[in-house]
Amino acid sequence: MKNTIKQVFHSGKFLFGFIIFMLILLTVIIYPIFVTADPLAMLGQGNFFKPGTYASIEESALSKSYTLQIPKEFSKLEAVLDIETRAEIQQFLINQAGVAESEIDVTDAEGLVSLWKANYDQNTKYAGLTTAKRKALKRLDNEITAAMKDSGVIIAEKDEEGNLKQSKVIKDTDYVNIKDVTTKTFVLGTDNFGRDVLTELVAATKSSLKIGLLAGLIATAIGLLLGLLAGYMGGLADNIIIFITNLFTVIPSFVILILISYSVGDSARGIAMVGIIIGITSWPWTTRSVRSQVISLRNRDHVNLSKLSGHSMFRIIFTDILPYIASYVVMAMILQISSGILAEAQLSMIGLGPATTKTATLGLMMQWAMQYSAHLNGSWWAYFPVVILIALISFSLNLMNTGLDQVFNPQLRD
Amino acid sequence: MATNQNQSPKQNSTEPKPCLSGRGLTKVFGVGKVQTVAVDHVDFDFNEGEIISIVGESGSGKTTLSKMLLGLISTTEGTIEYQGKPRDISTNAKKKEYWKNIQPIFQDPFSSYNIFYKIDAVLDDCLNMRGFKNLPEEQKIQMKTEACSFVNLKYAELTNKYPFELSGGQMQRLMIARIFLLKPKILMADEPTSMIDACSRATILDMLLKLRDEINMTIIFITHDIGLAYYISDKVYIMEHGKFVESGSAEDVIINPQADYTKRLISDVPKIYEKWDLDTVAN
Ligand SMILES: Nc1ncnc2c1ncn2[C@@H]1O[C@H](COP(=O)(O)OP(=O)(O)O)[C@@H](O)[C@H]1O
Ligand SMILES: [Mg+2]
């Protein structure tokens, strides 16, 4: 037994899957210890704020300012001079002002602007330009002039009479220390309800794992029990169980899942209920595979010898059959957990998932993102991490399964 | 015990008593078109205290017959009589009672054990079955030690071992120790030496004969080796395609075979009349 466990952890595949799964599990457990906020608190007023740190504008304006001579990525000039504008300026300088092309460097905004100022005059009527173009250039000149003024932003306050009075000028070299202002970081942005996607994702993963585990345990328990009885007893018991199993197999289990979920009703569909519903519709597969394993075992000589030693059926099932298929059952359960998580996602996508406003699940997050067209308006952070997480959970569980398979079925080993 | 004549049944003087009989015994596997008639209307009377060999090629239905006699599989047709009365194993209690009287040694020692349990569990099962469950521990250990030393195994060394830590020969010897503890009236030995190495083979046979003398049981010895059957048995049944084609005392059948199948089996064994001395092979 100890040896087998050692062997299992020597399997690279199992270990890799196990580590990924444990990382997910640990995150789910540890994250809420540090972030105690309600995962479904609506922090943002509006849809889909992109990932990043948000700082209070009011506090920034009122905080002590520091003058720093740091070239900024965001400058008004850079904002005016986009690529097309630069090309336009270059055209003008070459064609109308006669500047040599080698002198122009479009990547250097300041150089470009000084060339522009030296050569452009609003009152000159340049030849070879349409009226519209002339007007456009005039507008551009005004914009550049405005952008170059370093008057900054004026903060005004109302005095007693209600007149605005300038109280502060914010220059473009003014900075606040980020510690002086209130900030909020949304690592994965916010969703359609303005909820922090990361916090929501962690909570959703937890609920989805719960659903998967519950579904996997139920499916495995039912499947194992029926499979053992059908396989070992044979005869009438086998026929009845196989009949029921076939009934469940002929109708695709997802259809049954939908029907049951629908008939249970919105209000009753909590996390546990969805887990139970998925569990009681997905056992036939386990029943079938356990049954065939048991059939191949029940005529083995050690089982015959156990019978001849006067052992009862239950004792034989538990001591002479179950230990032989235990590893197989563990693998079947891992697959059931994985498919339970996927089933929840599918159910939620068609609106039959857990109907609760208190917790999120991975499936519900997908549904919300779809409903609010996150995929159409480029809000990748609302659905992409969810997809990744579903894939990771499923991948790690299947990897563990393959690893176990290689240990327990040595002929598969390479 | 070097010759066949020495092993003739002890009840020779009195009228032989049948302990296991079959009438029209048949087993058909499968349904519809894919039916296999594994055992086909066989009749027999196995007498108490005798060693009966059932000889046939692989697939002739020997194992199927033995499983029917053991009560592990149902019969399709025919009746089995145990000690002159129809065998009744309709309830679990009756089955348990029947199994106190008939026990097997299977062909493959490697699949005869539950690999998850230590060897001691096998021997304890035997004691429980004989109602010795509440005996003082020392007495139980003494019985188990005796059984093991009967087959030249050391109980003290085995208690904590798992079956897979033993060799095939050792496992099969432990099966004999199991029979020694159970003391059934009938032993069903289904090719007990065919899966183990040649050296252990003679030892196992030797031990089976010793065991027969010790607890005076009937042995049904199943083999594909007619030479072995001649060496060991009082009666021989030759089985072909689920039927008994010939039966009689070992001498009669092998010295003077009637059926073509028997003749062929005999001609396959080159040195059938040279009986080897088991004791020299064993040591
Ligand atoms: N459980 C079974 N189901 C179907 N056919 C079987 C089964 N067991 C044995 N048979 C068939 O019955 C025949 C006799 O087999 P068996 O009794 O094992 O022969 P032997 O022991 O003489 O080698 C074979 O043809 C075998 O294929
Ligand atoms: Mg056989």
My answer on whether A162 and A209 are in the same domain is no
Residues A310, B129: C-beta atoms closer than 8 Å: yes
Q: Given this model, what pLDDT does residue A413 score? A: 47
User: Which atom of ligand 1 is closest in space to residue B61's alpha carbon?
Assistant: 17
Whether residue A135 lies inside any domain: the answer is no
CB B26 within 8 A of CB B75: yes
Whether residue A145 lies inside any domain: the answer is no
Whether residue A52 lies inside any domain: the answer is no
Whether residue A320 lies inside any domain: the answer is yes
My answer on whether A259 and A385 are in the same domain is yes
- Checking if the pLDDT of B3 tops 80, the result is no
- Give chain A positions within 8 Å (CB) of B72: 304, 307-308
Q: Given this model, what pLDDT does residue A414 score? A: 47
My answer on whether A113 and A63 are in the same domain is no
Q: Which ligand is nearest to the CA of B108?
A: 2
ipTM value: 0.87
- Interchain CB contacts (distance < 8 Å): A and B: 46
Q: Given this model, what pLDDT does residue A243 score? A: 94
- A186 closest CA partner among A391, A20, A404, A385: A385
Cα dihedral B254, B256, B262, B268 sign: positive
How far does A302 lie from chain B, in Å, by closest CA?
Answer: 4
DSSP letter, residue A46 = S
Q: Given this model, what pLDDT does residue B277 score? A: 52
Q: Which domain holds residue A108?
A: 73-129
For ligand 1, atom 9, the nearest C-alpha belongs to B64
- Checking if the pLDDT of B271 tops 70, the result is no
- Range in A230-234, A258-262, A332-336 the model is least confident about: A258-262
Kindly report whether the global pTM for this prediction surpasses the value 0.80: no
The CATH classification number of B9-282 equals 3.40.50.300
- Residue A85 host element (H or E): helix A83-95
Q: Given this model, what pLDDT does residue A390 score? A: 95
My answer on whether A61 and A85 are in the same domain is no
Cβ atoms within 10 A of the Cβ of A183, count? 12
pLDDT in tens, A384-407: 999 999 999 999 999 999 998 888
B55 lines ligand 1 (CB under 6 A): no
pLDDT in tens, B117-165: 888 999 999 999 999 989 999 999 999 999 999 999 999 988 888 888 8
pLDDT in tens, B177-234: 999 999 999 999 999 988 888 888 888 899 999 999 888 899 999 999 888 898 889 9
My answer on whether A208 and A175 are in the same domain is no
Q: Given this model, what pLDDT does residue B219 score? A: 95
Phi-psi region for residue B152, left (φ > 0), alpha (ψ -120 to 50) or beta? Answer: left
Mean pLDDT of A87-112: 84
Q: Given this model, what pLDDT does residue A167 score? A: 80
Residue B24 alpha carbon to ligand 1 centre in Å? 18
Mutual angle of helices A384-408 and A12-34, in 10-degree steps: 140
Percentage with pLDDT > 70 across chain B = 90
- A176 closest CA partner among A55, A71, A79: A55
Whether residue A300 lies inside any domain: the answer is yes
Residues A302, B114: C-beta atoms closer than 8 Å: yes
How far does A320 lie from chain B, in Å, by closest CA?
Answer: 6
Torsion of CA A185, A188, A191, A193, to 10 degrees: -20
Cα dihedral A71, A74, A75, A77 sign: positive
My answer on whether A101 and A222 are in the same domain is no
My answer on whether A62 and A81 are in the same domain is no
Split into its structural domains, chain A has a count of: 3
Phi-psi region for residue B60, left (φ > 0), alpha (ψ -120 to 50) or beta? Answer: alpha
User: For residues A207 and A367, what is the distance between their CA atoms, to the nearest angstrom?
Assistant: 15
User: For residues A348 and A355, what is the distance between their CA atoms, to the nearest angstrom?
Assistant: 9
Collapsed DSSP state (helix, strand, coil) of residue B279: helix
Q: Given this model, what pLDDT does residue A354 score? A: 86
- Checking if the pLDDT of B31 tops 90, the result is no
- Checking if the pLDDT of B9 tops 70, the result is no
Residues A304, B104: C-beta atoms closer than 8 Å: yes
Query: Which pLDDT band holds residue A84 (cuts at 50, 70, 90)?
Result: confident
My answer on whether A267 and A171 are in the same domain is no
Q: Using alpha carbons, list the distances in angstroms from residue B90 to B87, B98, B174.
A: 9, 11, 31
User: For residues A142 and A126, what is the distance between their CA atoms, to the nearest angstrom?
Assistant: 17
My answer on whether A403 and A272 are in the same domain is yes
B276 lines ligand 1 (CB under 6 A): no
What proportions of chain B, in percent to the nearest 5, are helix, strand and coil?
Answer: 40, 25, 35
Q: What is the CATH number of the domain that holds A373?
A: 1.10.3720.10
How far does B166 lie from chain A, in Å, by closest CA?
Answer: 16
